[in-house]
């Protein structure tokens, strides 16, 4: 779908979209359209339940007196309450409704003054609406060969009419680069495990070199030399060899080129059977997205490089496949991590923390970063705690946690902080090694997993995002079609932009 910006005008073809506030208060554009068609919009609104609330839509098809295919009215909610997130949601709602109607092209008449969004700055309101439309238009249907016409998206062109068209185009450019990072993550997480596995996912990361990202890929020999026994142990049962990928974006301005980087680390278990501690068969197909943390880090690096973020960033992803076989890791095995700490493997299905242990240690040891944020679909326990609305946040640093929370709120990717108190640390003490990879019993499973990771960060400010409940959605949202969500890409991009770019 192509998005463009122009001066506001009723188009000569396609659909036209205008807004209505709560209590059926027409925006100036809606009122003008109503006047042109002899009050038909007012009659349509009066005769139904449409009242202008958020997410409501009402279509008048083939209106007499105008050359358009339909007029789509969209609810704007209460006058004066429109913000960035609502504009994005509005864009998503518009695209969804137009695709459902089978429209090919449409023009949105955006009344910035009526919306009360002047504080965003020239063009930014239109750019935010465009971002929402772009995010909602995403589809992953490359393997579907027998779709009915009504199942396919039809909208090819969306024009946003605004008094600040040139400024809107400029404001949309970096947002569009972020959308590309989101789409890359959604694509990677959506792919089946016979297509995306450690070697191919590493090559996907290598493609970021085209944007100026420096990419290193470590094979088994290199990781064994580094002493990454925890990560290698997870992958030893698979025919697919593991990989560690290091991505560097050097975007800091002159005079700060040697500044310590921001660091993001992702769990990349490209398929998780649970290993010898095998999972139940029901729902196991969903474990193709157990690499979502790595997918987010790769997509984030694309977003930051694409918009030329003015900061140094390193992204590290540990990539393995966790399979049962004659060579697989067994419950009771003891492995030695890169840190030198030994780990008793009680449950081979608690494998992501083993991958992250070596990736975190390598990151802090080599790069001495300002902070580390890791992302992982780490525990089912976080879904029990928070469901699918919030990701779990664990941190050893209050400022870092507060900034992540604020960035998540700003983009609608919400996180909730849970404790990492010392009392939980004893839960992972082992009688046979320095630690074990699961806690005692089922209580506080997400917290004990975080405490395990904390043993590999030293004194570096660190945060862990458990995205098991938010990486995949079984229902549509305004800007997120069902499927892979890419939760974390926009959160972390906003986090970087708000706090670490001058």
Instruction: Respond yes or no: is residue 490 known to be catalytic.
Output: no
Backbone phi and psi for residue 271, each to the nearest 5 degrees, phi listed first: -155, 135
Alpha carbons within 13 A on the beta-carbon side of 117: 24
Q: Which two tokens stand for residue 492?
A: 């972390």
Q: How many other β-carbons are positioned within 10 Å of the β-carbon of residue 316?
A: 29
Q: From the candidates 36, 85, 170, 279, which is the catalytic residue?
A: 279
What is the token pair recorded at 215?
């990419």
Of the candidates 70, 169, 353, 494, the residue annotated as catalytic is 353
User: For the chain, how far is it from start to end, CA to CA, in angstroms?
Assistant: 33
Q: Are 339 and 329 in contact (CB under 8 A)?
A: no
Instruction: Copy the structure tokens of residue 327.
Output: 């060579």
> Is the backbone of residue 445 left (phi > 0), alpha (psi -120 to 50) or beta?
alpha
Q: Are 376 and 466 in contact (CB under 8 A)?
A: yes
SS3 annotation, 59-91: EEECCCCCCCCEEEEEECCCCCCCCHHHHHHHH
Catalytic residue flag (residue 240): no
Give dist(CA 451, CA 427) in Å, integer: 9
- The Cα-based distances of 126 to 161, 231, 307 in angstroms read 8, 46, 19
Give yes or no for a contact between 244 and 317, defined as CB atoms under 8 angstroms apart. Answer: yes
Neighbours of 240 (CB within 10 A): 18
* Residues forming the active site: 279, 353
């Amino acid at each position: 779908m192509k998005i463009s910006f122009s001066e506001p005008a009723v188009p000569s073809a396609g659909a036209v979209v205008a807004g209505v506030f709560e209590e059926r208060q027409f925006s100036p554009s809606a009122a003008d359209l109503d006047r042109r068609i002899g009050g038909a919009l007012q009659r349509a609104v009066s005769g139904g339940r449409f009242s202008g609330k958020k997410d409501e839509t009402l279509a008048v098809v083939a209106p007499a007196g105008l050359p358009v295919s339909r007029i789509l009215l969209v609810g704007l909610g209460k006058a004066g309450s429109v913000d960035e997130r609502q504009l994005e949601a509005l864009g998503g709602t518009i695209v969804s409704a137009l695709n459902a109607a089978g429209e090919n092209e449409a023009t949105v008449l955006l009344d910035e003054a009526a919306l009360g969004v002047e504080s965003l700055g020239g063009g930014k309101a239109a750019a935010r609406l465009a971002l929402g439309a772009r995010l909602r238009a995403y589809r992953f249907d490359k393997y579907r060969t027998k779709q009915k016409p009504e199942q396919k998206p039809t909208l090819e062109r969306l024009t946003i009419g605004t008094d600040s068209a040139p400024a809107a185009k400029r404001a949309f450019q970096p947002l569009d680069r972020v959308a590309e990072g989101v789409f890359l993550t959604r694509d990677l997480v959506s792919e089946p495990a016979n297509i995306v596995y450690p070697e191919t996912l590493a090559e996907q990361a290598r493609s970021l070199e085209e944007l100026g990202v420096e990419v290193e890929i470590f094979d088994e020999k290199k990781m064994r030399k580094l002493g990454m026994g925890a990560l290698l142990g997870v992958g030893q049962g698979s025919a697919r060899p593991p990989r560690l990928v290091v991505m560097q974006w050097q975007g800091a301005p002159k005079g700060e080129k040697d500044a310590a980087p921001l660091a993001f680390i992702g769990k990349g278990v490209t398929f998780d059977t649970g290993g010898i501690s095998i999972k139940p068969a029901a729902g196991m197909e969903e474990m193709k997205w157990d690499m979502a943390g790595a997918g987010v880090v790769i997509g984030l690096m694309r977003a930051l490089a694409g918009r030329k973020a003015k900061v140094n960033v390193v992204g590290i992803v540990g990539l393995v496949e966790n399979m049962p076989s004659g060579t697989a890791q067994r419950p009771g095995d003891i492995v030695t991590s890169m840190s030198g700490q030994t780990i008793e493997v009680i449950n081979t299905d608690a494998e992501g923390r083993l991958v992250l242990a070596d990736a975190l240690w390598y990151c802090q040891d080599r790069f001495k970063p300002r902070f580390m944020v890791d992302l992982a679909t780490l525990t089912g326990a976080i879904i029990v705690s928070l469901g699918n609305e919030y990701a779990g946040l664990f941190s050893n640093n209050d400022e870092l946690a507060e900034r992540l929370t604020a960035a998540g709120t700003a983009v609608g990717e919400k996180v909730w902080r849970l404790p990492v108190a010392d009392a939980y640390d004893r839960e992972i003490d082992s009688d046979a090694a320095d630690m074990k990879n699961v806690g005692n019993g089922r209580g506080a499973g997400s917290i004990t997993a975080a405490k395990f990771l904390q043993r590999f960060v030293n004194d570096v400010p660190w945060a862990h995002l458990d995205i098991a409940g938010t990486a995949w959605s079984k229902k549509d949202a305004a800007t997120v079609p069902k499927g892979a969500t890419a939760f974390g890409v926009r959160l972390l991009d906003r986090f970087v932009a708000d706090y670490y770019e001058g």
